[in-house]
Structure 1
Amino acid sequence: MENIVVESFTMDHTKVTAPFVRKCGRIQTPKGDIISKFDLRFTQPNKEAIPTAALHAIEHLMAGFIREELNDVVDLSPMGCRTGFYLILVGDIDKEIVLKALINSLEKVLKADEIPAVNEIQCGNYRDMSLFGAKEYAKGVLEKLK
Structure 2
Amino acid sequence: MAEVESFQLDHTKVLAPYIRLIDAEVGFHGDIISNFDVRFVQPNQNVIGMAALHTIEHSMASLIRDRIDGMIDFSPFGCQTGFHMIMWGEHNPEEIAKVIKSSLEEIASDAFDWPQVPGVAEKECGNYKNHSVFGAKEWAKKILSEGISSDPYERKVI
Bin for the TM-score computed over the shorter chain: over 0.9
Percent identity at matched positions? 47
- 1:142 corresponds to 2:148: no
- Give the corresponding residue for 1:13: 11
Secondary structure of the residue aligned to 2:58 is helix
Q: Which residue is 2:150 aligned to? A: none
Superposed CA RMSD in Å reads 0.9
* 1:50, distance to aligned residue in structure 2 (A): 0.5
Q: Which runs of 5+ in 1 are unaligned?
A: none
2:47 is paired with a residue of what secondary structure? coil
Match of residue 74 from structure 1: 72
The DSSP-based 3-state class of the residue aligned with 1:128 is coil
Match of 2:130 in 1: 128
Structure 1 runs of 4+ off > 2 angstroms? none
Structure 1: distance between partners of 2:74 and 2:53 = 12
Pairs within 5 Å for 1:5-84:
5-84=3-82
Q: Deviations over 1:65-116 (max 9, x none)?
A: 0111111100000000000011000001011100000000001111311122
**What's 2:113 paired with?**
113
Letter in 1 for 2:125: C
1:68-107 mapped onto 2 (5 Å cutoff): 68-107=66-105
Amino acid in the other structure paired with 1:65:
L
Q: CA deviation at 1:17?
A: 1.1
TM-score, length-scaled by structure 1: 0.96
Q: Is there any run of 5+ residues in structure 2 with no aligned partner, and where? A: 148-156
CA distance in 2, matches of 1:85, 1:135: 17
In the TM superposition, what whole-angstrom CA distance separates every residue of 1:37-56 from its partner, at most 9, and x where no partner exists?
Answer: 00110111001111000000
- Code of the residue aligned with 2:127 in structure 1: it is N
- Per mean C-alpha deviation after superposition, the further-off stretch among 105-114 and 33-42 is 105-114
Q: Distance in 2 between matches of 1:82 and 1:17?
A: 16
Q: What residue in structure 1 maps to residue 154 of structure 2?
A: none
Structure ranking higher on relative contact order (CA contacts 8 Å, 6+ apart): 2
1:16 counterpart letter in structure 2: V
The 1-side partners of 2:23 and 2:65 are apart by 19
Pick which of 109-118 and 46-55 moved more. Answer: 109-118
Provide the TM-score with structure 2 as the length reference.
Answer: 0.89
